[in-house]
Chains A and B, each alone.
Chain A
Amino acid sequence: MVDQTRREFLKLGLAAAASAVTASAIEIPLFGNQNSSMQTQLNNANTQLANLKNRVNTVVGFVSLSVTEQSLLEKIVETIIPTDSDPGAKEAGVIFFIDRALAGDYGQSANMFMDGPHILPRIAASNSTPLVVNPTLSWATNPNIPGASTSPISYTGGSISTPGVGAGITASPRVGSGINYQYPLNFREFWRVGLVALQAYANSAYGGNFETLSSTNQLQLLKDLWANTPTSFSNILPSDFAYELVFMTWAGFLMDPIYGGNQNMVGWTYTGFNGVNFGNFYGEGQDQKTLMVATTPTRLKPASLAQYQQQASGSGGA
């Protein structure tokens, strides 16, 4: 028993060491009070152990973000969802959600169409300067396509009534539609260059690393990205990167804890979301058929997907 406890303490120490790198991890004072009796120390240690187990059951540590990315992104997500009297991105472990996502399908752009050509933003076309693009061979040689040939195709842009006038790629901004992302980078690389560009902009426009800026300037800098104020941003549109930062931060706050964020379901508690508690997960005696037509709200303690699966498989949970 004593040995087991010591092993847990060792893990605990490792977690504390990791927290020196990331301010999001809980700092755990080990035997900090030298004047306590052994019994008090043991009690404190047991409480810490329980907290740590809870923590380890979620996610700490990084599998993708570099050391410099960790400290920078940490401050960015805390700017987007600050901690006030309620938990924010920090307590939700948003940075771990993003780290896991960047290491997985999201970062690899595994479910994206990534083939070229990649026509980057801000490329316009007109009658005088058309956009000229070669066709694919499969299109050019399909005998069933009228007008198909191997010749390059010119695009002048414009509307039905006024061809050749206005933007040539599309007639409208495509923010959020999935069409805006036209980079030849997977998302892991996109975040890498985006974070470097953001830090460079922090230094050139605000005189220091993002982490060192006042919270007012940190928020303003992110607004600058949305407004595409930075003129040199590693060939990406700053607002495209800002979209990802804000989207992924809120996702880390609100998605199921199974993905590493929303730790201890703080995001769901904050928004009053129920997770997979359908009214009786903790024996509340409510049912969805009543709740869905109710005219006053009922707060349900949220339950996670993992809890739900444990309960469904009969191995405890709630």
Chain B
Amino acid sequence: MPTTITEPAADVVILGVGYMSGVIAAELSIASLNNNKNYKVVAITKGPYWDYVNDFSTTKYDEWGVGLGRKYDSPLPLQSTTIRNTPYQFALPVRRYTMPIQYHALGHGVGGAAQHYGGTMGRQGPWGYQMLLQTNTRYPGTIDTINPHNDLEDWPLQYYQYEPYYVQWENAHGLCGNYNGSIDNPGSDASGYPWMSQNYKLPPHPLTSAAQLFQSTVSSAPFNYHPFPHVNALASQPYVNSYGVPVNPCVYDGYCGGPCDYACETGAKANAAYRTIPAAMKSGNFTLVVNSFIFRLDTDPTSGLVTAARYYDPQGNVHIQPGTVFFNGMWGYNMIRIMLLSGVGAPYVWNSDPTLVSGTVGRGLTNGYSPFKGTNVSGTLSNIGGNAYPAGNAGGGSVDIYDLMDDNFDHTGLGFIGGSQIGVGGYPGGGPGNITFAGGVSSASMGPQFKPSQKDKYLQTKTIVSATPFAPDLPTKDNYVDLDPHYADIYGDPLARLTYDWTQNMYIGATYLANKVKDIFTKMGASNVTVSSTVSPGAAHNDWWGHHLRGGCRIGTAPASSVWDKWNQCWSPTVKTPFNIFGAGEITNTSGDTVPSGTHVAGPQSYRAAEGIKQYLGLMTPGLVP
């Protein structure tokens, strides 16, 4: 017979244990120790604790079980999501993980989605933090045409203010890259790459020949772009992080996932379980609660403060975990869902008249890295072949440019803002079905004509270069998250419902950018460089359960339009009481053009939020940036 159990009160209660929660766990456990406080930090997560090396070292090379079956990811019978394109439609639930599924799976267990991600990392530049201000300043009066029902919200801090937090984040997680700009020029960099006060700790992975060709081509006339090696979080050398946690290097054995498929069996691919949670454990102040599903936050009816988190253990018992301060580090829409279910913050209410919308929790949903069906450009490098079977890792080998993104080129009269980070030459990383199934099977995938197209597909005598660039998805009043009226999770609570379709800015940017990329591919010597036919806005619709969501639970400058303030602290429900719930994650605002960038912008926020919580508890004052 399930029962209700009240746990001893904690000072800090962390909801979900992914990347951001790992930072809070480490920072607060250590700060408590350093201040001679015996504060108790408790973190609760729905999945298990994987012993990555032991659990994965012999079983991860399994496309059917891991890549397609998603056996290490969040089980759909536990909870799913519903999705529709407009508020007039019935939203259908996602019923299965299937191919092409690369962008679908949630993480499960300590480390969260970072256990299977590609490891791409980097920084969001200054423009990404001030898209609305920059657009209104440089292209006044255009935003409402570019983005009908526009709902952009600038960040409360600027890039240079987040820069010290980026350094903390990068040194904890061991990033690989090479910043070739000047560290003496904090204003801007000619490349558009955001200024850094120090270089990455680890060198980039070896470049492929295609990447080197791209690098030499774009750095010459007529482009004169500024290429640099792809930045990622897959350790290229042995490393000891800022908490003293040792990190194994990548062994380049593939099954890493060009898409985000596979767990890492050496720990080279950064995630909380390898970098921050070990530091929290060592402090002695930290308790990790696994296999426990958080379903409510209790609030005080007078002050509105959060008093406890309620969760189910695997036996169905209800646990009540009281706390002083709470950190919402749940993934994506779960961060929104727990607040909507519990009445924390003001729920977003859509209206067909965009001036009549209200609330903030669920507002401003965008898709940071969707499988957007825009304009594709491809070509063939007939003099570069190679091995397309798993080798290397998901994040290395390529070269990127920032020149065609953010506001790094003049957008006057173009009808869109932003652009795309363009990269060429990454290692192969997927499994055998990955190539065949990419994009899904169709009536063309059958019979004596199709079969030979798969012969020796992993032994390439030429390289196909391909890109589907698009300008960033912009928040509108019509894309949002709320609770679904018809479908519930395994415990009976409503699922999150996504109302989302692609926005005009993506399409218009796509055509412009594809033609820019066509020029690059042609100059590289590619043959048969073709740009697929232009897709006009509204001609194709989002039909994916995208898990690179952005927005929906935003950090901003005003309580009327955002959930979190400049300390990642929830705007207070009453003017007098500082609210005791903080949050940071991928969905806390737009994320510029860096690919895929959700983690880039969330990481520094987690250090910022850690300072906010330390101040709330009286462990420090003031922070790096007031």
Chain B residue with the shortest CB-CB distance to A172: B541
By the criterion CB–CB under 8 Å, are B385 and A296 in contact? yes
Is B181 at the interface (CB under 8 A from chain A)?
A: no
Q: Would you give the shortest CB distance from A122 to chain B, in whole angstroms?
A: 13
User: B442-472 interface mask toward A, CB cutoff 8 Å, 1 = contact, 0 = none?
Assistant: 1101111001101111111100000000000
By the criterion CB–CB under 8 Å, are B95 and A182 in contact? yes
Contact of A115 (CB < 8 Å), options: B75, B206, B385, B487: B487
In chain B, positions 56-100 with a C-beta closer than 8 Å to chain A are 57-59, 61-64, 68-71, 75-77, 79-80, 83-90, 92-100
Complex contacts, A282 vs chain B, CB 8 Å: none
Chain A residue with the shortest CB-CB distance to B87: A160
Q: Would you give the shortest CB distance from B368 to chain A, in whole angstroms?
A: 18
By the criterion CB–CB under 8 Å, are B451 and A88 in contact? yes
How far is A125 from B91 in the complex, measured between Cα atoms in Å?
13
Is A37 at the interface (CB under 8 A from chain B)?
A: no
Complex contacts, A243 vs chain B, CB 8 Å: 440-441
Is B5 at the interface (CB under 8 A from chain A)?
A: no
How far is A159 from B89 in the complex, measured between Cα atoms in Å?
9
In chain A, positions 114-140 with a C-beta closer than 8 Å to chain B are 114-115, 117, 119, 125, 131, 133-136, 138-140
Central interface residue in B70, B447, B540, by most chain A CB within 10 Å: B447
By the criterion CB–CB under 8 Å, are B92 and A179 in contact? yes
Which one of A50-58, A150-158, A200-208 is at the interface?
Answer: A150-158
Q: A156-B88, A292-B208, A293-B209 are in contact. Are A81 and B76 (CB under 8 A)?
A: no
How far is A289 from B397 in the complex, measured between Cα atoms in Å?
11
Q: Would you give the shortest CB distance from A220 to chain B, in whole angstroms?
A: 10
Q: Would you give the shortest CB distance from B414 to chain A, in whole angstroms?
A: 24
Complex contacts, B55 vs chain A, CB 8 Å: none
Q: Would you give the shortest CB distance from B151 to chain A, in whole angstroms?
A: 13
Complex contacts, A1 vs chain B, CB 8 Å: none
Number of interface residues of B (CB under 8 A): 108
By the criterion CB–CB under 8 Å, are B98 and A168 in contact? no
In chain A, positions 165-188 with a C-beta closer than 8 Å to chain B are 168-179, 181-182
By the criterion CB–CB under 8 Å, are A294 and B95 in contact? no
Complex contacts, B482 vs chain A, CB 8 Å: 145
By the criterion CB–CB under 8 Å, are B386 and A294 in contact? yes
How far is A164 from B89 in the complex, measured between Cα atoms in Å?
9
Q: A82-B448, A136-B487, A250-B445 are in contact. Are A255 and B64 (CB under 8 A)?
A: yes
By the criterion CB–CB under 8 Å, are A112 and B485 in contact? no
How far is A81 from B428 in the complex, measured between Cα atoms in Å?
25
Q: Would you give the shortest CB distance from B394 to chain A, in whole angstroms?
A: 12
By the criterion CB–CB under 8 Å, are B488 and A136 in contact? yes
Q: Would you give the shortest CB distance from B610 to chain A, in whole angstroms?
A: 29
By the criterion CB–CB under 8 Å, are B347 and A168 in contact? no
By the criterion CB–CB under 8 Å, are B99 and A176 in contact? yes
Q: Would you give the shortest CB distance from B618 to chain A, in whole angstroms?
A: 31
How far is A153 from B486 in the complex, measured between Cα atoms in Å?
9
By the criterion CB–CB under 8 Å, are A142 and B494 in contact? yes
Complex contacts, B448 vs chain A, CB 8 Å: 82, 84
Query: When A and B form their complex, what is the total count of cross-chain residue pairs whose Cβ atoms lie within 8 Å?
Result: 313
Complex contacts, A226 vs chain B, CB 8 Å: 442-443
Complex contacts, A105 vs chain B, CB 8 Å: 69
How far is A140 from B359 in the complex, measured between Cα atoms in Å?
20
By the criterion CB–CB under 8 Å, are A172 and B85 in contact? yes
Is B43 at the interface (CB under 8 A from chain A)?
A: no
Which one of A4-12, A21-29, A304-312 is at the interface?
Answer: A304-312
By the criterion CB–CB under 8 Å, are A158 and B88 in contact? yes
By the criterion CB–CB under 8 Å, are B456 and A172 in contact? no
By the criterion CB–CB under 8 Å, are A298 and B432 in contact? no
Is B483 at the interface (CB under 8 A from chain A)?
A: yes
By the criterion CB–CB under 8 Å, are A113 and B95 in contact? yes
By the criterion CB–CB under 8 Å, are B457 and A155 in contact? no
Is B519 at the interface (CB under 8 A from chain A)?
A: no
Complex contacts, A246 vs chain B, CB 8 Å: 441-442, 445-446
Chain A residue with the shortest CB-CB distance to B212: A293
Which one of B44-52, B268-276, B338-346, B553-561 is at the interface?
Answer: B338-346
Is B2 at the interface (CB under 8 A from chain A)?
A: no
Where chain A touches its partner, the secondary structure class is loop
By the criterion CB–CB under 8 Å, are B441 and A293 in contact? no
Chain A residue with the shortest CB-CB distance to B458: A272
Complex contacts, A171 vs chain B, CB 8 Å: 84-86, 89, 501, 541
Is A300 at the interface (CB under 8 A from chain B)?
A: yes
Q: A79-B446, A111-B70, A139-B485 are in contact. Are A273 and B432 (CB under 8 A)?
A: yes
By the criterion CB–CB under 8 Å, are B349 and A147 in contact? yes
How far is A181 from B545 in the complex, measured between Cα atoms in Å?
13
Q: A139-B494, A178-B104 are in contact. Are A256 and B86 (CB under 8 A)?
A: no
Central interface residue in A79, A115, A222, by most chain B CB within 10 Å: A115
Q: Would you give the shortest CB distance from B465 to chain A, in whole angstroms?
A: 14
Is A63 at the interface (CB under 8 A from chain B)?
A: no
Is A278 at the interface (CB under 8 A from chain B)?
A: yes
Contact of B494 (CB < 8 Å), options: A138, A174, A176: A138
Complex contacts, A295 vs chain B, CB 8 Å: 209, 384-386
User: A74-110 interface mask toward B, CB cutoff 8 Å, 1 = contact, 0 = none?
Assistant: 0000011110101010000000000000000100011
Is A283 at the interface (CB under 8 A from chain B)?
A: no
Is B391 at the interface (CB under 8 A from chain A)?
A: yes
Complex contacts, A256 vs chain B, CB 8 Å: 61-64
Complex contacts, B452 vs chain A, CB 8 Å: 84
A-B contact pairs, 8 of them (CB 8 A): A111-B71, A144-B343, A177-B545, A178-B96, A256-B62, A256-B63, A288-B251, A288-B253
Query: B interface vs A, CB < 8 Å?
Result: 57-59, 61-64, 68-71, 75-77, 79-80, 83-90, 92-101, 104, 149, 206-209, 251-254, 340-343, 347, 349, 352, 359, 384-392, 397, 427-428, 431-433, 435-437, 439-443, 445-448, 451-452, 454-461, 478, 482-488, 492-494, 501, 538, 540-545
